[in-house]
Amino acid sequence: MPTRAMRARIERVEVRLAAAASHRERRELGAFVRFCVGRLERELAPSDHWIVTIVPDPAGGYASRVIAERRGEVLQAGGSGRDGTLAAWDALGKVEQALREASSRWAH
């Protein structure tokens, strides 16, 4: 059973997928995104809200957009990959770098 802290993190992370996504895709991509966000937040401090969108790209593969809001500042990045996991990983990595840069600004 999830702890209170885990439930709070799950509620702050919104994963948006294409309407055609299967139940399995929703479950697995949601778990992956929440795991990645949890790792980022353990290292960099929690953000107020996350929105991660993963959709098929008309050009092939998948596209992802990650929006993280922290201390009133909105950081966002896009990513792409052969599958939804790789697209999310790409965008999350870019947001991680932006969060690291913002954390150094907030510390001063």
The pLDDT value recorded for residue 89 is: 98
Segments of the chain with pLDDT less than 70: 1-10, 106-108
What class does CATH assign to 4-107?
alpha beta
The pLDDT value recorded for residue 103 is: 77
Q: Collect all residues with Cβ–Cβ distance below 8 Å to 5 and sequence separation of at least 6.
A: none
Q: Collect all residues with Cβ–Cβ distance below 8 Å to 103 and sequence separation of at least 6.
A: 44, 45
Q: Nearest to residue 56, comparing CAs of 27, 84, 89?
A: 84
pTM of the model: 0.86
Question: Could you tell me the strand order of the sheet in which 49-56 lies?
Answer: 13-17, 49-56, 62-70, 73-81
The pLDDT value recorded for residue 7 is: 52
The pLDDT value recorded for residue 8 is: 56
How does pLDDT run across 32-50, given as a tens digit for each residue?
Answer: 999 999 999 999 889 999 9
The full set of domain ranges for the chain reads 4-107
What distance in Å separates the CA atoms of residue 68 and residue 63, rounded to the nearest whole number?
17
Q: Nearest to residue 90, comparing CAs of 36, 25, 20, 39?
A: 36
What distance in Å separates the CA atoms of residue 103 and residue 107, rounded to the nearest whole number?
6
